[in-house]
Structure 1
Amino acid sequence: MPEAVIVDAVRTPVGRRGGALAKWHPVDLLGHTLRYLVERSGIRPDDIEDVIAGCAMQHEHQSGNLGRHAVLSAGLPESVPAVTLDRQCGSGQQAVSFAAQAIMAGSMDVVIACGVESMSQTPLPNAFQPGAALGPQYAPLELARYDGGLLAQGASSELMNTRFELSREALDGYSIRSHRRALAATDAGRFREQLVPITTDPLDPTSPAVDRDEGIRRELDPAKMAALRAVFAEDGATTAGNSSQISDGAAALLITSEEYAAAHGLRPRARLRALAVAADDPIIQFTAVLPATRKALKQAGLEIDDIDLFEVNEAFAGVPLMFQKTFGVPDDKLNVNGGSVAIGHPLGSTGARMLTDLLHELERSGGRYGLQTICEASGTANATIIERV
């Protein structure tokens, strides 16, 4: 079976909702990222066989196969096709899986996997709430099956906190750590190599440059964090401070066959060793990262102790804490440069952003294996294992 390898990976800085990237239309934001990836990698644009774009909220500015429009706005050849997929928060990670699977199947040699979300330009709609997609025939069956229907993710986070005995103090402490680690990584220049050069105004190249993730806080008062009101339950533990941020951003990875890379003088940076997806309790919603991880480890023939770095999406601080509690992962292997609590969570791009971060950090630290997993609305999750070349 052909090997799928990552040749290059880039991402925009992550902007806060209404912040530094708010003027960028999502098509332009992704197109700008695609153009930079192609130019930086030196790939022949005519060789690109598909562009697979993740996007979670496909309405308003993000409707109508925005991946194809991003290809055209990037100035890539008309012959380059594109498709847009939705696996909620894992959309960008699923794009990588589909790209790698096409290459492993022998049907393609060059695919770009990417993701984008402009949560400034495409706000959360009513359609994003649980149950909105239910049809009249089967909706009553699902509602009966789950005692009135599914929950919003915030309410589910409180169920997770209770089941895994995650205290408010633990959630807040983890969130402060996420900001501190992301800030340390930024100050040390660890993200610099992966960031797409971009300005605040897409129509004015002389406008201020955006060269860092906007949501990371330099000063964070633990007392103020502890004083924040629980959002989803009167006696709950989930707050705005220990949840992911609403954000804008894009990311893209160039995936090729090992043979193509060798024939065209490209340097593979990592192999895709495992591509897993799993589903679990749709009420709690976040626990599928556990069976997804077990599936990925089994695919790769690895044990949890073989993994050098873990990236677990911080949809809520409780998710990586649940993961850590279940698998016994040490602090110095888990989200070492912070995560979505600090950096932000532009839904469709986060999986591609995290994998970009993971690749660069494996190279920086000299690690061999990295595992990434993301929980997704209604109880699914992706898990991916990469091996640094």
Structure 2
Amino acid sequence: MQNNPVIVDIARSPMGRGKAGGALSEVHPADLLMQVLVGIVERNKLDPGLVDDLIMGCVSQAGEQAVPTGRTAWLAAGYPLHVPCTMVERRCGSSQQAVHFAAQGIAAGAYEIVLAGGIESMSRVPMGSARMGKDPHGVAYEQRFPGTVGQGISAELIAARWGISREAMDAYSARSHQLAEQARVAGHLAREIVAIDTPAGRVSEDETIRASSTAEGLAQLKTSFNNDEIAARFPEIDWSVTAGNSSQITDGASVALVMSEKMAGKLGLRPRARFVAFDVIADDPLLMLTAPIPATQRALAKAGLKVDDIDHYEVNEAFASVPLAWLKDIKADPARLNPRGGAIALGHPLGASGTRLMSSMLYGLEETGGRYGLQTMCEAGGQ
């Protein structure tokens, strides 16, 4: 198929803790994304003038991320003026959606080459900056869904309704750190990382992995979202979500090089993966984080595959209860779930996480000789 979209490469920055003093906190988000763009262009010996579009995800499009950060990063790299950019905001799935749009545009014949990815500097543009404290829902929404809760409460509700214990979440979270550390020590993570120059020096490894994490240690942490009013409304909640069994606030950028199979052949570049099926769906906005379950079921049906056909699953670890509920409903093999660690260990730089997951999946499949990978992410609003 002439317009068959393929992935040629994916690169990402190291993950830095998203707070003052974090490894990447002194780097402007445009400069952070610029360095990943330069890394992927140079290692593929790509003529940047051939790129048809930049599609970049970013959630908090305010402050230093208020202008099209992808466009700024591209021009900062010294690349051609004629290459356009658009920014995508589908909450935590923003860069995953950017890759979908890239592949769909190529399949439609609108593009030949797209760089799709995302950026989020959570130390410099804190989560929620774009709202500036204002009500984001409005009167009519609140009438339909009174008393909307935050994602932490949604994670608690999922734990309660799926029967997931604090012990199970802490054990899963320790596993995330241990698997990420194993991948780091084996040199697997280095293959996908573009080192980032900062005022304090070059950063080439993830700052977020805590190799010494154990379930016993995580059990000592206090729960994060206790609230008497919420407890009265939802007596089933057992208060079990902590900072240790949740994703880390993180700075990071990631970019995928997506092109038509025909163009890859013309440029002498090897396609490393193809797209089999896409799905996006929304679910209950109160539970908010459950849509990966129906999205998985629909994507498998579209692909004509069973869950056992999939060699590698990437389910974003927004909170430990999310992949654990997914496992229960999908009845998937736990050993294939986030086998190189997930966002609990590697962090969750909102707009960049989709292509970070895709990077973990692509490199993981290559390391194990697997054929099929499945990626899914929960997004705010129940998507």
Instruction: State the TM bucket, normalised to the shorter chain.
Output: over 0.9
> Could you tell me which residue of structure 1 aligns to residue 5 of structure 2?
4
Q: Give the letter aligned to residue 207 of structure 2.
A: E
CA distance in 1, matches of 2:252, 2:352: 6
The one of 236, 243, 264 aligned to 2:267 = 264
CA distance in 2, matches of 1:11, 1:24: 15
1:221, distance to aligned residue in structure 2 (A): 4.4
Question: Which is worse superposed, 369-378 or 298-307?
Answer: 298-307
Report matched runs for 1:63-74 at 5 Å: 63-74=66-77
> Could you tell me which residue of structure 1 aligns to residue 23 of structure 2?
20
Report matched runs for 1:249-288 at 5 Å: 249-288=252-291
CA distance in 2, matches of 1:140, 1:127: 20
1:126, distance to aligned residue in structure 2 (A): 5.8
1:147, distance to aligned residue in structure 2 (A): 2.1
- Please tell me whether residue 169 in structure 1 is matched to residue 167 in structure 2: yes
> Could you tell me which residue of structure 1 aligns to residue 210 of structure 2?
217
Is contact 1:130–1:152 with CA below 8 Å preserved after alignment? Answer: no
Is contact 1:53–1:95 with CA below 8 Å preserved after alignment? Answer: yes
Q: Give the letter aligned to residue 177 of structure 1.
A: R
Is contact 1:126–1:132 with CA below 8 Å preserved after alignment? Answer: no
Report matched runs for 1:122-133 at 5 Å: 122-125=125-128, 127-128=130-131, 132-133=135-136
Alpha-carbon RMSD across the aligned residues, in angstroms, is 1.5
1:93-122 CA distance string (max 9 Å, x none): 000000000001011110000101000110
> Could you tell me which residue of structure 1 aligns to residue 182 of structure 2?
184
1:56, distance to aligned residue in structure 2 (A): 0.7
- Please tell me whether residue 35 in structure 1 is matched to residue 38 in structure 2: yes
Report matched runs for 1:249-328 at 5 Å: 249-328=252-331
> Could you tell me which residue of structure 2 aligns to residue 140 of structure 1?
139
CA distance in 1, matches of 2:182, 2:320: 19
Q: Give the letter aligned to residue 304 of structure 2.
A: G
Count of matched residue pairs: 370
CA distance in 1, matches of 2:215, 2:88: 39
TM-score, reference length from structure 1: 0.92
CA distance in 2, matches of 1:79, 1:327: 45
Where in structure 2 are there 5+ consecutive unaligned residues? Answer: 228-237
Residues 126/67 of structure 1: CA separation in 2 closer, same or farther (3 Å cut): closer
Where in structure 1 are there 5+ consecutive unaligned residues? Answer: 202-206, 381-389
Residues 179/307 of structure 1: CA separation in 2 closer, same or farther (3 Å cut): same
> Could you tell me which residue of structure 1 aligns to residue 220 of structure 2?
227
CA distance in 2, matches of 1:76, 1:173: 46
Q: Give the letter aligned to residue 44 of structure 1.
A: D
> Could you tell me which residue of structure 2 aligns to residue 386 of structure 1?
none
- Please tell me whether residue 87 in structure 1 is matched to residue 90 in structure 2: yes
The one of 152, 155, 158 aligned to 2:156 = 158
Residues 343/3 of structure 1: CA separation in 2 closer, same or farther (3 Å cut): same
CA distance in 2, matches of 1:48, 1:236: 49
Is contact 1:54–1:116 with CA below 8 Å preserved after alignment? Answer: yes
- Please tell me whether residue 343 in structure 1 is matched to residue 314 in structure 2: no
